[in-house]
Amino acid sequence: MEQKTCIAMIPCPGLSHLIPFVEFAKLLVLHHNNFHVTFLIPTLGSPTPSTKSILNSLPPNIDFTFLPQINIQDLPPNIHIATQMKLTVKHSIPYLHQEVNKIVTCSKTNFVGLVFDLFSSDVIDIAKKFNLMSYIFATSSVISLQFCLNLPKLDESVSFEFMDTTKTFDIPVSNVSFKVNDFPDPVLFGRSSETYKAFLCACQILSLVDGVIINSFTYLEHDAIKSIQDIICVYPVGPIIQRESKSKENKLECITWLNNKPSKSVLFISFGSGGALTHEQINEIAFGLESSGCNFLWVIRIPNKHSSSAYFSGSSKKGNFNYTLDDDPLNYLPLGFLERTKDQGLVVPSWAPQVEILSHSSTGGFLTHCGWSSSLEGLVYGVPMIAWPLFAEQRMNAASLTDVFKVAVRPKIDDEDGIVKGEEVARVIKIIMNQYSRDGEGLQLRKRIEDLRVEAAAAAVSEDGSSRRALSSLVLKWEERVTLRN
């Protein structure tokens, strides 16, 4: 029997990183069935039920191993999520070494390379030790990758001025200036912080890998891809998204409700698997929704002052948050809101089947936290967006969606208290949800995202699509390594 070519993938903790890795692995073995993928998964505490569900449904050509759990007590207290992810992987290096050694010594496969996350970049030392090819799978945009590639040069060549959040900074793509305040979280902590130093170290490793696999497509980010091709070998293989939600929680209720609403009349509101809002901000969103008169489907979780509070848990159960009231998120809505809007909206706690909702004919808008996977899902299904970033690189994604891709509108934050007021919520809703407008900003958003929807399908589905060609080019590199070894 012919030996399969083996790739090991090492995502960092967090569902928003694991899911794109899994979907890429499934795409790889679907179109190239001579490949086998092994997931080696660092864990901070016990794997969540969502994580187990995703991994237990993998096809035969993909297997997985949970590495021994890292105890959160072994990490420094009160560290940023990015640092927490990186340290989790770093503490798992001895276990990763053991597992990679097992695969190397196995005679059943041709083991050629490691694919890992930006925050799993310490894995590169293992790749070098075992003479394996090394690739980063970027779970964000090419523009974000471009920023990461430029950060080491910035760090060496400019003063602290580029940390001034009142300023803008040019990233050489589409002649767009990004506000420093929209840079990824770790940069804004300042050069002296451990969070910044860990992020800078990860960015420096980009120049040492054999290539970067990225979940984007050429038509969407042509200029950004072109600007980095001389620096690093990049493979835009996206858009790679989930085509079916794994959990059935709230699914029947959501789809039944959507089936009774007019075409493109519903605004879907979700802040991803890891985002949270303050109680005050939830009240303002409720006010804006009610006053807009727009149909809405809102996924709500218990409020928290930390926007990333649900990131690792993937849950909004009491104990992950600082509130002590009943743990039903609906209890935090304004008094009488559900009754007053019972014909206008549906509010579901904690989770909803996002893919099925975005692909439903009744959905006409998407208020999103701008995680890259959610942004791509909005693009794939042609749903104009309200960009509402919370943490990580989401603000840079929001700026890209609005200023570069031109498929979203971004609400203005009140300068005094740092929240988006209800009047502003209603204003942006009306921009993207007025489907009968024959002019103005909303019409242009809908035209642009329809164009990108068509191009996204062409890139990923057509055998001659740009993303399919990029994947084939990557596979050829791995097969050449097998040939050289044999």
Active-site positions read 17, 117
**Residue 402 vs residues 43, 268, 452: alpha-carbon distances, Å:** 35, 18, 14
378 neighbors 407 (Cβ within 8 angstroms): yes
Q: Is the peptide bond before 329 cis (omega within 30 degrees of 0)?
A: no
User: Cα–Cα distance between 185 and 195 in angstroms, integer?
Assistant: 9
Nearest to 109 by CA among 158, 63, 147: 63
CB-CB neighbours of 325 under 10 Å:
9
The stretches of 32-141 forming alpha helices (DSSP H) are 49-55, 81-91, 93-105, 124-129
Torsion from C-alpha of 274, 402, 181, 200, nearest 10 degrees: 70
What DSSP string describes 192-218? TSHHHHHHHHHHHHGGGSSEEEES--T
| Burial classification of residue 432, based on how many CB atoms lie within 10 Å of its CB (0-12 exposed, 13-18 middle, 19 or more buried) | buried
- What is the amino acid identity at position 454? V
| Burial classification of residue 435, based on how many CB atoms lie within 10 Å of its CB (0-12 exposed, 13-18 middle, 19 or more buried) | middle
Nearest to 220 by CA among 470, 29, 393: 470
User: Cα–Cα distance between 347 and 341 in angstroms, integer?
Assistant: 10
**Residue 413 vs residues 188, 243, 417, 419, 479: alpha-carbon distances, Å:** 18, 33, 8, 5, 51
Nearest to 380 by CA among 483, 243, 250: 243
Q: How many CA atoms lie within 13 A of 34 on its CB side?
A: 12
- Region of residue 49 (left: phi > 0; alpha: psi -120 to 50; beta: else): alpha
**Residue 64 vs residues 99, 125, 153, 348, 485: alpha-carbon distances, Å:** 11, 21, 37, 32, 25
CB-CB neighbours of 280 under 10 Å:
12
